[in-house]
Structure 1
Amino acid sequence: MATETTARGAFPRAWLLALTALLASTAPASVHPHVFAEARLDVLVNPDSTVKSLRHLWRFDDLFSSTVLVEFDMNGDLRLDDAELQEISQTVYASLADFNYFQLVTVDGKDVAMTPPPQLMANYENDQLIIMFESEPKAPLALKGTVDFGIYDPTFYTAIDFTEDENMAVQGLPASCARKVVRPDPDEAIAQNQASLTDAFFNDPAGTDLSKIFATKLELTC
């Protein structure tokens, strides 16, 4: 019984602290999301048509949220107080740093560097864990050409889902820009990128950066 309890209690910390390690020994056929989150992304645009910041909200599935509750509810009152939520936010913040907080930003296909968010906020309501944060481009990011914003987990362990196109929004979009949400078809994505997909991707997709071809993206064309 002690072994079972320890394994169960270690699960959320394993996800939060070592995402890639969880998949290191996973066979390709079993590489699929284990954690699910409904997301909202708000892109804030300055009056000069540069991107001010990205605001993120992730609402995690009930199963994972309840597991986090069990792990971080140190006083056993079946709720998460401010101190426990702070520990969760700090743990998530540290664990996602190596993954750019799952952010994907490109201009005409070239990656854009983002400044790490100063902090993450965690909340727990209606039996769901909620993570919120805001980040900014490292250098001024003008809305010129095709600018894409997406969220993806390169380990394939977490599925970040935008259930409605309206959940990828822009505040202050210039009239000269067009907005659309792109939801790649996995088979089409593989076919279109066959030349750049290596054996390493098919043997261990978590070990490559090519998983971003499957990410749902907000595309702004200006």
Structure 2
Amino acid sequence: MNFFKAALKFFKVKVLLWPVLLVTALIVAGTGATFISGGLNALALGSLFSSNSNERDSQVVQAVTRVQEVALLSLHIEGVSRQESNGEILGITVPASAKTTLLQYKFNAKLGIDGSQVKIEPNGAESFRVTIPNFIGLGFDDPSFEDPLESSGTLSWLTPPAVETRMINNILSDENKQKFITQNEAALKEQAKSFYSGIIASVDPDVTVEFEFKE
């Protein structure tokens, strides 16, 4: 009789274990599904947030202007630009903070005139007057700049580095163009006379040509 009761009690316990096993199986299945779903979601998110860059430059020509630039001289220029700077603390220069930057360069500077502003007018029966406008810088050909060389003091880290683009802009500035014009004004006038005298002589070699230069 005791054996029968014990067996009955055992089977009751076994029967009660089935819900536990069923819940466990459901949890394991749910965990696996969540893991798979999470993996798929990660792949989906990776695809969703992938990057793709594309750069485009759209340009529209707004106006076309005819120019009649006449190049009279081409100067081959070579030189070294030097920039010196010092570090400061509260407006006071720090000793041993000096920094010197050297930039070697070369280019061809074109000087000339705006041909559309040249006036050729009769000045009598066998004479013409040619009025030449102000000389201008027409640009720079084949500019070449070496890598900057820098020398510095022990505390030069307090001094900001030289800006190479700023040094280049200073070299190719309008001020330098004007300096080249002033230094070569006589040669520019002679070349302008030769150029326009040749044009007029090709039409009538017997006429007299006078020149007037605007200051």
TM-score range normalised by the length of the shorter chain? under 0.3
Task: Give the structure with the higher percent helix.
Answer: 2
TM-score normalised to structure 1 length: 0.24
